[in-house]
Structure formats: C-alpha cells, structure tokens
Structure 1
Amino acid sequence: GFFQFTLPYRWQYWIGWVIGMIMILAGIVTNPAISLVGLLFVGLCSPGSLEADLHKVRQAAPKPEDLEREALEKGFSIDSWWMGRTSYTPTTDPSDWILPAPGPATWNENQYVPHGDGTPLPEHPVNVGTPRPATISTYGIMMLLFVLGLCIGAWYAVENSTPEEDLTFLPYVALGVGALWSIIGYFRYKMQRQMADTPTSLVRSVAVGNPELVGQVRPSNSGVLRVVVDGHPNRIIPNCVNFHWSYEVKIRETTTDSEGKKQTREYWRTIREDSGGVPFILNDGTGGILVKPTTFKRTDMGQYLKRWESNHADSLKKELGMEFAARLFT
C-alpha cells in the first residue's frame, strides 16, 4: 500500500519511541524545538514496513524443535562472576528463517542434486512471492516532518532575530540537512529498486552474470570451520563457512589542560581481528551451487552470533587463578 503505520518490536526501540512521543507532546506546549527532536527519535526508532511485516510473520510461523531448543540457549549469561565476564547471544535475527528449514537429516549425500522432489524450498520467493514494502511508513512521515519543521524553525528564527544577532546561517544548515537526507534516501531507493528489479533465479536454471539466489547454506567437500575466537578455548563458534571477529577494548583517557580542568573521553580500539571462510553449497531445493565467500568484494553477514564482554584483560593464567580462588572459597 501507500502508507503503513509501524511500531517498534524491540524493547530498546520502544523506550526511544516513547521518549520521542513525550518530547513531541511536551514541545507542542512548551518549545517546538523539543518536538523536532522527538520527531527524530520516533522516526529512527520506527522500523520500515517490510521489516515490521517480516517480524510479524516470524512470530506467527511454526518453528521446528531444534530451533526452539536453540532459542532457549540464547540470551544473556554470566560466564565468570569473578572476572566480570559475560556473553550475549541475540534472541532475534532479522536474517533468520521464517518458515521451517529442512534439517541435515533430510539432506542428500550429494548436495548438488535437488532436495526431495526438486521443488523450491518453502521460503523461496517463487513460493512466497517478492515482498513489496509500502511507499511510505512511520519512519518516512516522521523524518519528513522533522525536515519541514527544521526549515520552518530556521525561517522563523531569522525573521524574528534582532540586527545584533547573525542567524543567517540557519537556513543553510536546514538546507544542508535536507539535501543530505535526500541524497541518502536517493541512493537507498536506487539500491532497493535494483534489488527489486533483479529477479530471483533458481539454481537449476541460473544464468551467467550477476543473478540473485536464495537458498540454504550446506557444507561442501571443504567441510566447515570451528572458529576459536582470539584463540580462547571458551569462545568457540562451530559449523561456520564464513566468519569475522574483532577484539576491541574500551579506552578511557583523562587529560588535564593548562588551567587544571580535567576532561575524560571514552572510545573503542580494535586490538585484533580475523576473518575467513570455506566454499559452501547453496541449495534452493532445485539443486546446489558452489559458493566461494572469500572471492566477494563486499559481504554482509548480518547480525553477530555472539558477543563476549569482560572487565579484565584476557589472560588464561589469570582466569585459571581466579577460577581456583572461586572454587576454594565456595
């Protein structure tokens, strides 16, 4: 359709969305500038129409027992209280399956041959169709109102300014924000149109060129990777065909200027990172095709699988000592 009203589906975005609505209402009574900030909050916290629809389908779709068991293992956990070490596995993944995926027990020994009767997988666009988002959603409405309000506010401030106040730069600021938003929107629209205009091919009839394929990742003769993140024995991700991890530390620096004023700033610094992959089979039900992930210039692997955090530097010797102390005094 033309317009779709969307609401957040994650509690983090709900908090920002509610704060934004409160600021909009408060700004109407007090200062319109507060309403502009509220419009920005609501817009950024509102999902797109297609993202909201996919989330609703995932919530209503039946899941096999193995996915239910996996869901119970997700979430936040404390790995070591003494070391202040925690881990978090996201409970939702925008790139996850919507309909049940065929399990390994049903796979053919030869992954290149069709799966089952050779029909596309249930979630293939040939069966479910190509989803088409609404022309405009809550995000678009709020961002449009924000830009219009910014332009009107700049004009009003210049018209009511005194000769001593030099506010002639405000219209240019509003014009710059609007132009930047328009440019970003143009390129995003161009990318989405290119994706929509590229038909999804079937493996059994894929043509030479740059086709779009949708299917299930299955291991090839190269096998799978058992990724040991940063060489730590307790940070292992099995059954990977493509990976990237980074080890970052949070730096806190306090500086003192010539007047004795202290200023503290925090930032993240990447210490180590690694990536890699092995060829895998993409099977869409009609057949399999070999994919070499390391040959792609750009790769978007979606949301991270797991995140580890620690209040202390990673040291196996230190960890063993702390674990020994924990066992000794408990």
Structure 2
Amino acid sequence: MQKRKMVITHNLDEKYVNRINELVPDWDVIVGKDRDTWENHLQDAEVVAGWKKGIGDQLFGDNAKLRWLQTWSAGVNSIPLEKFEQNDVYVTSANGVHSYPISETIFALMLGLTRKIDTYVRNQAAKTWHHSNLKLEIHGKTLGLIGVGAIGRETAKIAKAFDMTVLGVRNSGNPAENVDEMFTPEELHSILPRCDYVVVTVPLTEKTQHLFGAGEFNLMKESSFFINIGRGRIVVEEDLIAALKDNKIAGAGLDVFEQEPLPEESPLWKMEKVIITPHTAGSTEHYNKRVIEDIFIPNLKNYLKGEEPSVNLVDFSKGY
C-alpha cells in the first residue's frame, strides 16, 4: 500500500521537520526549496505546504490526491481558488504571521515620512547639511486603518503608544480593541477627510481591487500620508502618482505595486515624498517558526483527526 505523502516546498530547520514526522510517522514527507526535490511528488501529495507558480496542473491532474494546501503567504490572490473549491480541497493561509514585522514597517514608513528620514538619507548621500523644513510629529494624529485583521489590530495597538486616534474599516463593522471608531467599507469616504495617515492592509479581492483611486485621494487631506502594504492592485497607481504630483496628499510609503518588480521607468522611484520598499514588509527572522508552530501544526492535528483545518481556513466565497 502506497504511503500518504506530504510536500513542503520550503527549507525548514531539522527540528520542525522532526516535529512534523512525529505527527505523521507513516507518511512520506518531502521537504526542500529546490524544485527538483519535490516536483515529481506533487501528483501523489495529499498535503502541500507552500504554493509555487506553475504547480496547479500537477496538483489537479487526473490522479491527483491533494486534499489540503497550506500557503506560505497571507495573500491568496495569486492562487486559483476556484479550482480548489471545485475539487473540494482545503486552503489555509499564513495570515497572522506578518502582524509584527508589517506593523513595524508601517510605523517605519509613517515615522520616516513624518520626520523626513528619507530626505535626510538623500542629504547624507550628497553630504548636505540642511534642516529640510522638518516640523511634523506623529503624536496625537488620526490614523485610518483600511482593514482591521491581525496586522491592523497590531498597528492600532502601537498607535495608542503615540496617543493617536484610530479609525478602522472592516467588512463586519464590529468594534476592535484600540480602534476608537469602526466603519464598514461603504463608509470609507466619510473617514478619509479626517485621517492624517491612511494605511491599507486589506487583501486583494474583487471588492478591494482599485479601492483607492482619484476620488479617494481627492478626499484626503493635503497634509496626509498614504501607506500601502496590502497589494498593489488595491490602488489605481496612476491616480496615486497624479495625487502626489498635484500635492493632493503629502506623501506615500509603498511596499506593494501594480507591477512587481516596480518598473525602472515608474515616476515613483524619483519622487522625493515617496518611500519604496520591495514587497518586504512581512519579512522576519521568525517567519517559518510562526507558519509551522502557529498555523501548520495545529491545522495538521485537526486534519489527522478528520476535521477541517481551523486556523486561517480560506472562505472561497470571500476570496480570503
């Protein structure tokens, strides 16, 4: 009888491989980042951890055995969710792994723009000693969180250390700790004129694609800053560029873009009031530890008992 098989398309510390093997001692567990390590095992795999571009055909072949996919990313917009739904395959995401590093990046961008750290870095490179009209501070300002999941909640908690007023937008409209006022997406336009900082943390779905365009930027204060660590296509990028050029907003901190890598010809590269990071907001030394210990192993225990995974199970009707 053929053994049940699990494929993990990432390199893991031996201690995590051993913990997984202890839970599934009778399974074949294939682990490694090198495609040659796992590619020939996909069709026989019942469980796959780590989505890779181009593996869909093998996962959904005529004799495929896949029952559960654990992604290594919080976003699942690049995954053909309709195929997983049609084949009755569970999908769980890495949502929550990023709340600490991304909230740190959000504040790094907010503080960098507020205290002109980006300007001073350029001045340092040019050996220029100049005040650069520094005057803003973050304390006591109003933060608009567009998306109040794990990342939004951690960001709200940090905001309270700066005595900020926090306005949140989430689908349910339900209150959350450290959020002073909560709104639904339909009320987005009502809060934008109040915000000194607008931070986008929502996933990319049909509803959130191009959520921010010219109309939204026109509603923001000319002194406000826009931060996007969600997905690039949540924003109409040409409208953001126009808003920055026309001084509709004061600046932007951007980790995600409509096209990645960001094309060399993009005006965003040379804009003085823009800070760019290369989709690294979620990078952390603890990434694999959190995926395995907080998400994959608890889900695996449920799966082995014949139950559906309980942590970050994707709702196909919502797209996340």
Fold shared, TM-score > 0.5 on shorter chain: no
Q: 1 or 2 for the larger relative contact order (CA 8 Å, sep ≥6)?
A: 1
TM-score band, normalised by shorter chain: under 0.3
**What TM-score, normalized to structure 1?**
0.18
Instruction: Select the structure that is richer in strand.
Output: 1
| Pair member with larger Rg | 1
**What TM-score, normalized to structure 2?**
0.19
